[in-house]
Amino acid sequence: MTHRRLYAGSDLSRAVTIDDLRQMARKRLPRFLFEYVDGGAEDELTLRRNRDAFARHTLQPSTLVDVSNRTQAVELLGRPAAAPLVIAPTGFNGMLSQRADVALARAAAKASVPFTLSMAANVRLEDVATDAGGRLWMQLYWVRDRDFIRSLVTRAEKAGFEALVLTSDVQVSGGREWDRRNYRAGMQLSLRNKLDVLAHPRWLWHMLREGGPPRFANIRELAPPDARTVIDDMMTLGRNMDPACNWDDLRWLRSIWPRRLLVKGILSVPDAERAIAHGADGVILSNHGGRQLDGAISALETLPAVRHALGPDATILVDGGIRRGVDVIKAKALGATAVMTGRNCLYGVAVAGEAGALRALDIIRQETDRAQALLGVPDINALDERVLSGRTPIGFAPLRRELSQGVT
């Protein structure tokens, strides 16, 4: 049999899966940049566990059900969304393609789902609101300067952002060792990676046209007057991260933000309950895509318990490991209001900007639609644990033994 290979060309219409987009992005981007997007922390146990958590659940369809009319529409933070999808916050996107933050926001608007802008974006939040529109959420890292936080929150409110997302799991940066191996000192690429950059002329032309790596556009108030480069911005953000952030800070943030507030980085029932008690309108179960604490539990694994604790009406999003429409199905069946997707859309935007990001969303939505039909569930809101067989696939028996012994 001919060896199977994923598509890695340049024709976007031939990308039939997220893995195709990933391969296309791998070909287009220099090695160091693809590693930044694709990799995880330390031994990447959490990165793999995110995928394994979905694979351990099998589906049990119902047959002879009328599925001629299917819908993925959900209510999210009191407003309709065309699908239970949200583009997750990701930083430094301008390295992937021109004005990638705007491209991602536009793709989300066309798909009628929310987009979350990272505080480490390369486009000003006001420009994203003006140039893209749609449903916009703003992500916030907790920094020491409360005046800066207040200013950023005020800017987001004036620009029309409907929700604020506090990332709670970056007290310090995770140990992304494979990422760091691409540099010989500081942010200086190794000789091997410099040569690899020259082997990617399309990407290099993009950088030259932009005048070099784009800066973090929304943290200028934090940066010292002599900051001139994105490396200066990264050092500024790193120096200002506040590991003392606690529940009192969340309560203060709630007092200055009048709209919806979500806390991202929750992985336990007690923390989910505390977040709601301190004023959050919902929680995002997340281990930061496997990029922070290695060996952490996956969002999907903690989802049923959090749903049971918070009740049927709570807003609970999950991220980490979503690559297929059936993953959306499984998350919904276990109690998720919606899922967040980051890497999938980054692969797309790296390949073809807005069109690539929209292609990623379309692939997930098409797969979800097909899975609904084959499951016999025309309305995605009707999904619950009854569609899950509860049996562990044969191939995951070793992982099951490890879990029973407490190994993560």
Paired strand residues for 316: 283
The predicted pLDDT at position 227 comes to 83
The predicted pLDDT at position 407 comes to 34
pLDDT tier for residue 210 given thresholds of 50, 70 and 90: confident
pLDDT tier for residue 1 given thresholds of 50, 70 and 90: low
Paired strand residues for 341: 87
Q: What is the pLDDT of residues 262-294, one digit of tens each?
A: 999 999 999 999 999 999 999 999 999 999 999
Q: State the DSSP string of 70-108.
A: -B--EEETTEEESSSEEEPP-S-GGGTSTTHHHHHHHHH
Q: Range with the lowest mean pLDDT among 33-47, 76-90, 125-139, 392-406?
A: 392-406
What's the whole-number mean pLDDT along residues 185-209? 90
Query: Residue 308 annotated as binding?
Result: no
260-263 contact pairs (CB < 8 A, 24+): 260/77, 260/78, 260/162, 260/163, 260/164, 261/163, 261/164, 261/166, 262/137, 262/163, 262/164, 262/165, 262/166, 262/315, 262/317, 263/165, 263/166, 263/168
Within a domain: residue 108?
yes
The Cα 26–Cα 8 span in angstroms is: 8
The predicted pLDDT at position 389 comes to 85
Q: What is the pLDDT of residues 343-360, one digit of tens each?
A: 999 999 999 999 999 999
Domain count, the chain: 1
Query: Residue 40 annotated as binding?
Result: no
Residue 2 has pLDDT above 70, yes or no: no
The predicted pLDDT at position 229 comes to 86
Residue 399 has pLDDT above 80, yes or no: no
What's the whole-number mean pLDDT along residues 364-389? 96
Q: What is the pLDDT of residues 51-75, one digit of tens each?
A: 999 999 999 999 999 999 999 999 9
Paired strand residues for 116: 137
Query: Residue 330 annotated as binding?
Result: no
pLDDT tier for residue 212 given thresholds of 50, 70 and 90: confident
Residues with catalytic roles = 288
pLDDT tier for residue 335 given thresholds of 50, 70 and 90: very high
pTM: 0.93
Within a domain: residue 74?
yes
Percent of all residues in the chain with a pLDDT value above 90, rounded to a whole number: 84
What's the whole-number mean pLDDT along residues 295-321? 97
Q: What is the CATH number of the domain that holds 279?
A: 3.20.20.70
CA angle centred on 302, ends 264 and 260, rounded to 5°: 30
Q: What is the pLDDT of residues 91-136, one digit of tens each?
A: 999 999 999 999 999 999 999 999 999 999 999 999 999 999 999 9
Within a domain: residue 79?
yes
What's the whole-number mean pLDDT along residues 195-205? 93
Residue 400 has pLDDT above 60, yes or no: no
Residue type, 228: R
Ramachandran class of 358: left when φ > 0, alpha when ψ lies in -120 to 50, beta otherwise? alpha
Within a domain: residue 259?
yes
pLDDT tier for residue 365 given thresholds of 50, 70 and 90: very high
Within a domain: residue 10?
no
Query: Residue 180 annotated as binding?
Result: no
The CA-based dihedral angle spanning residues 295, 20, 180, 209, taken in that order and rounded to the nearest 10 degrees? -140
Residue 396 has pLDDT above 70, yes or no: no
Within a domain: residue 396?
yes
Q: What is the pLDDT of residues 6-29, one digit of tens each?
A: 999 999 999 999 999 999 999 999
Query: Residue 89 annotated as binding?
Result: yes
Query: Residue 118 annotated as binding?
Result: yes
Mean pLDDT taken over the chain: 92
Nearest to 276, CA basis, from 265, 263, 264: 263
Query: Residue 91 annotated as binding?
Result: yes
Nearest to 182, CA basis, from 341, 35, 360, 21: 35
Within a domain: residue 209?
no
Q: What is the pLDDT of residues 150-185, one digit of tens each?
A: 999 999 999 999 999 999 999 998 999 988 899 887
Structural domain including 250 reads 15-176+239-404
Query: Residue 57 annotated as binding?
Result: no
Within a domain: residue 203?
no
